[in-house]
Amino acid sequence: MTTFRNTLFPVDFSASCVAMAAYVRRAAAIFDARVTLVHVFDLYSHDAFQLYVRPLSEVAEEQQNLARDKLDSFLNSEFPVGECPRILLSGVAAAQITQLARTDGFDLIVMPTHAGLFRRTLLGSTTAKVLNDADCPVLTTQHVETISPRQLEHREWLCAIGLNADSQRVLRYASQAAEAVHANLTLVHVIPVSGPDLPVELDLEERLQPAKRKASSRIEELRSGAGSHALVSIAIGPIKDILTEEARRLRADVLVIGRSTRSGVPGRLRDLSYALARDAPCPVLSV
């Protein structure tokens, strides 16, 4: 059974983290989950003059103490220290976050997307690396730098569904999570036949009827295997555009997408997954 009982919330003290605090707290309340805050700092990122006049160990200890004080006081009204553990780590942020999630059994990581920079270039960011490397699901939020995401109601969930063997895992996960919060779930399968720069073919819909029937039959198999009664929509066109438009039309609270179950090169995510996490009008849950 899908559960989100142990949620990890990486923070870097940015406006994005402050903006999404209410969202994370609401999500935790819905799933009756405990939230742990983690901050990763660079132990050796110091002013060159300080390193010249003071021992490295002394400067590093001072930086660590400052980071600890800041973490303990950050978002304390939303996440009281007595109820929400706080973990301070040093090193490469993405690596430390994914390792902590793996070793401590976290079942969800919730990360901000840092608005402008994230939307311009997701690749190479800490969030992108966590999306690629984490074993547990990762929820990324869509919002601007100082405005929190739309209030989390969990009435409409959307799941992008493929036709391969792993699609049943994704569908089962989305179905169980949506059911846990009493949300409607819609499955969307897109037959990718054109891009924005390709000419429109007037008879395209008619020619692809066999493909649609085949997809419909396969999705019924997947639904049956996952025990899902979700609504199904099969569309034709650019995958990212159709999924983001459908999420906008339904005013979806969450878009669920699948990641490969294997990590490593070339990684779990494809360019499409990055694009969806970047451009979707709602949070994206990568499972």
Same domain, 46 and 132: yes
CATH classification of the domain holding 68: 3.40.50.620
Domain carrying residue 195? 156-286
CA 230 to each of CA 82, 97, 220: distance values in angstroms, whole numbers, following the listed order: 40, 33, 10
In a domain, 68, yes or no: yes
In a domain, 54, yes or no: yes
- Tens-digit pLDDT profile for the chain (287 aa)? 567 889 999 999 988 888 889 889 988 888 889 999 999 987 666 555 555 566 767 777 888 888 999 999 999 999 999 999 999 999 899 999 999 999 999 999 998 765 444 444 444 478 888 988 999 999 987 654 554 555 556 689 999 999 988 899 999 999 999 988 889 999 999 998 754 444 455 566 677 788 889 999 999 999 999 889 999 999 998 999 999 999 999 999 999 999 876 554 444 455 577 788 878 888 899 99
Residues with Cβ within 8 Å of residue 109, at least 6 apart in sequence: 7, 8, 9, 10, 97, 101, 130, 134, 136, 137, 138, 139
Same domain, 130 and 77: yes
Same domain, 136 and 173: no
Chain centre to alpha carbon of residue 68:
26
In a domain, 255, yes or no: yes
In a domain, 234, yes or no: yes
Same domain, 77 and 175: no
Task: Record the pTM.
Answer: 0.84
In a domain, 249, yes or no: yes
Same domain, 134 and 10: yes
- Residues counted in the chain: 287
Total count of domains within the chain: 2
Residues with Cβ within 8 Å of residue 140, at least 6 apart in sequence: 111, 112, 113, 127, 131, 277, 283, 284, 286
In a domain, 212, yes or no: yes
